[in-house]
Structure 1
Amino acid sequence: MTRRAALLFPGIIRRVSGSHFQGAELESSELERFEAIVLPHLDAAYTLARYLTGNTQDAQDIVQDASLRALKYFRGFRGTEPRDGRAWLLTIVRNTVRTWRQRRHPQSADTAFDEEQHSERIADDDAAVNLDRKETRARLGEALAQLPDEFREVIVLRDIQELSYQEISEVTGVPEGTVMSRLHRARQRLRRMLVRGGKTGERVI
């Protein structure tokens, strides 16, 4: 676990240090397994939550809720390697974000995502983008924030978190083929948004 994660989520660390959680007793061996498999991915969980919510405080609250939920149901998790815990925790984070958003915007809860509607017909040759190094992070973050959630999450999971297509499929609950096509459309749209800035310098994505 990184120092940032330890500073952002001390409550999670305290919960894991005990052997009881909301009435459910966990054996010390299970707590050790949770520490080894799930806790190393708090940074990844926070990054995903921050990009999906656009707010650091909301992201911290969501990761706190998601991590405690993961701890509560960890007994049923069958993963044995640290990498196994990443997709599992990110799935819980994503679902927690969706619940959080539905509470805030209940009218959008039943709206199905239409990839065609949110995609632009552009050629790959037109999608190249160059940015000055100082502007890269800020402009990329602004562009990501304007993408639909379904596009934004695959960009974050693949290009920032570096998950495999199979892992992204597990996190998002859609087939790998859909992940690949959605990622392609998301990258196209993101590049077009960045190209409109008309800068020269460092190439992005």
Structure 2
Amino acid sequence: MDRIRRLVERAQGGEEEAFDELAQLHRPRLREAIRSWARFQLGPRLDVEDVLQDSLLRAVKAIGRFAWDGEDSFFRWLCGIAKRALAQAVRDTYRRAPEHSHGTRIKHLEAAVPGQSTVMRREERFHRLEDALRHLPAEQREILLLARIEGLTVNEIAARTGRTAGSVKYQLAVALRGLRAVFGETESCHLPDRRLDPGDDEHDAQ
């Protein structure tokens, strides 16, 4: 982590190479975070790479305003920027949508917005998942979010948390078994960012 902090300080001092290295180090995790959030956006599919690039461009312009706040604070800061970039991409997508007629716009909205029953099922599943995660031991919850939300590998999680790869595999397997009992499919482990996002949740788990 000292390496990240030194790179941040150099980037804030105007060294482009330092920010390039920061971007290279955080790009995979940030891409996975954006991909996870984008799954829950309504409407046309977004280009994750475009959002990622926009996020990094915003970050390099704002690097002077970043304040170090402990381990992984730089990634959490990037996540905040990426969420704003994603929201802007959604707005831009709708703004560019064909608007040849009132009927065209209505059809577009009908295709983009889920029905009431779909929304209710999604909300019900979210609350069940949120409750299940809350009752997981902190260690299992942290590992599950690192694996399923940030997309880290077992070895990356082990390096981040100071655990062995074997311990990470075991804790992840136990956590997934518990969630499968509730949801049946582990794909339900992907969470919307409104409450349990990579930055906030990882910070809570530390």
Q: TM-score by structure 1 length? A: 0.38
Higher helix share: 2
Q: TM-score by structure 2 length? A: 0.38
